[in-house]
Amino acid sequence: MSDDDEGSRPRRRLFRRRARGAGAARFDLRKALFILPNAFTVSSIFCGFYAILRATSGEGPESFRQAGLALFFACFFDVFDGRVARLTRTQSDFGVQIDSLADVISFGVAPGILVYQWALKGLHPIVGLAIGFAFCACGAIRLARFNVLAARGHGSLKYFIGLPIPGAAMMIVALVVAQSVWIHESVEAKASIAALVVVLSYLMVSRVRFRTFKDFRPSVRTTPILVAVLAALGLAVVILKASVTLVLAVGCYILLGLVEEVVFFRKRRHEASALPAVPPAGSPSQSAPPQPSPAP
């Protein structure tokens, strides 16, 4: 064996170690897990983008239905991106910000354009445009307020302040998908849709509290109620259309928040007046804000 062969063996071993080390450095499990919840969020953005394309394609009722289904899948991705982030422990400020931007696109801009093309366009041009834009603007304001309250530690595990923007969007989506049942070419029907959009826009920026159900824990007392609710939803899907069931479910959620607000109005007003004033952002007395959760 020559000296050249003996000297080349250590060099080959060193090269293999470096190659293995470089491969190990390229794959980082933490970074891979960080990408996973953001992939769900980006998928939600794509669904919103696709819904806008279908809503503005001018191909008739079927294109509106496809846009509504795309937004339904956007809601699915939005529900699971935060849960995936918590399960993988990859919550980050970046994830919070991109989630809010995704919600503005998929549950603010896209439903606003969809309902405008579907029903509001047939009204007075300025009125329809103003109502559709109001939905987008109120959704953005609602998300900004949520992020500010969460950053200052004034968020609540039990209640949302204002109707969550996905809930408002799903009401519009359910109506669009069930359009053969709920909408006709009459001006009265379109005016009813316009009034509903105005109410949803107001509820998003209002101080009305809606339950998050994050504090729900199955127990001996709550399990029968949960089973009864699921059974009622299943029966409604069988008897009615799934889209009509979604309309009823979202409507019951909104009605529950309004009823609770009326019943507990005085109690909540007293609790709000007892809270200390929120210091302005950046004041010396303000402690470091906690990690906000993804915006609803």
Give pLDDT tens digits for 166-198: 999 999 998 888 875 445 567 788 888 999 999
Q: What average pLDDT does this structure show over 85-106?
A: 84
Q: What gap in Å lies between CA 82 and CA 79, rounded to an integer?
A: 7
Amino acid at 126: I
Instruction: Enter the pTM of the model.
Output: 0.75
Q: What average pLDDT does this structure show over 114-138?
A: 91
167-171, 207-211, 263-267: which has the minimum mean pLDDT?
Answer: 263-267
pLDDT (0 to 100) of residue 284: 42
Return the SS3 of 210: strand
For CA atoms 17, 19, 24, 25, give the dihedral sign: positive
Residue 216 predicted with pLDDT over 70: no
Q: What gap in Å lies between CA 77 and CA 75, rounded to an integer?
A: 5
User: How far from 231 is each of 58, 227, 234, CA to CA, in Å?
Assistant: 39, 6, 5
Which domains can be identified in the chain, with CATH numbers?
28-216 (1.20.120.1760)
Percent of the chain with pLDDT over 70: 72
Are 44 and 74 in contact, with CB atoms under 8 Å apart? yes
What tens digit of pLDDT does each residue of 54-91 get? 999 988 888 998 999 999 999 999 888 777 777 777 77
Are 43 and 77 in contact, with CB atoms under 8 Å apart? yes
Whole-number mean pLDDT of the chain?
Answer: 78
Provide Rg for the chain, Cα atoms: 25
Choose between 102 and 215: higher pLDDT: 102
